[in-house]
Amino acid sequence: MRTIGIVIKRNNTKALEVGVSLSSWLGKQGIKTVFSQELSRGIPGSQAMELAEIPRHADVIVVLGGDGTLLSVARLVNSYDVPILGVNLGSLGFLTAITLDELYTVMADILENRFQVSERMMLAARVHRQGKTISSYAVLNDLVINKGALARIIELETTIDQGYLTTFKADGLIISTPTGSTGYSLSAGGPIVYPTLDSIIVSPICPHMLTNRPLLVPPEAQIETILASEGGDVSLTLDGQIGFTLQQYDRISVTRAEHTIKLIISPTTTYFEVLRTKLKWGERYA
């Protein structure tokens, strides 16, 4: 282990303080650090690099923040085989499951290559318009096709492996990985899927027909949906962070991404403990 990348949540004073302390601690261990521009404010005379360049130079990336910060890093890591350690500075997260109290203990193990990873599949999404691919994205959680607040119900003609599935008449559609199953998909009635399983979840948002229920398909499935309805404000959102405006007859294709993401897991907290903590899963209510 020679180089550790550090990425902090933007405009977060606590993340900045922890990042500076961690960089100093790693330096004393003889480890080089590379970090984003935000962190350079706390380290006088330092030279930071663009966020997109960090995965190219780091053996491990430490993310100080929340799940949203980790999602943004995951899209950048994409084609690099770099494990990510997510450190949550607030409440326990689904992705950033390491607490601040155990940070240095876990880091000491990482420097000795004593750690385990949870390998997560990603999705590759492409938008096609008039026969041309106009944009492509990699996502770790989900992609969402959603209508604007004042738009009518939209129609999404959907196929799987070129076979017609249905035309969803709904407020939108969520296509999710198992990692993202505890996010927006869960709110739309989708199942909780163990994050290391390989599968894709298709969940309509407020469907007009009660018979349109969430569907779990194999990871090799090729999903395509066409925005069949005209007019209205319809957007494609990726991991809840990137937005793209859709037009009538735009075709969105979704397949399993070529690369996976490796998340370093907590040595003390299991996935089911996170479920119980975040979702109060399994608890009875009076």
Gap between the terminal Cα atoms of the chain? 51
Does residue 263 contact residue 115 with C-beta atoms inside 8 Å?
no
Candidates 59, 67, 142, 233; catalytic one: 67
In the residue annotation, 67 being an active-site residue is answered as yes
Distance in angstroms (rounded) separating the CA atoms of residues 6 and 16 = 10
Q: What is the number of residues in the chain?
A: 286
CA 261 to chain centroid, in Å, comes to: 10
Helix (H) or strand (E) holding 144: strand 142-147
How would you classify the pairing of strands 3-8 and 60-65?
parallel
Positive or negative torsion for Cα 98, 100, 102, 105 = positive
Distance in angstroms (rounded) separating the CA atoms of residues 135 and 152 = 25
**Is residue 122 classed exposed, middle or buried when 0-12, 13-18 and 19+ CB atoms within 10 A define those classes?**
buried
Does residue 35 contact residue 145 with C-beta atoms inside 8 Å?
no
Catalytic residues: 67
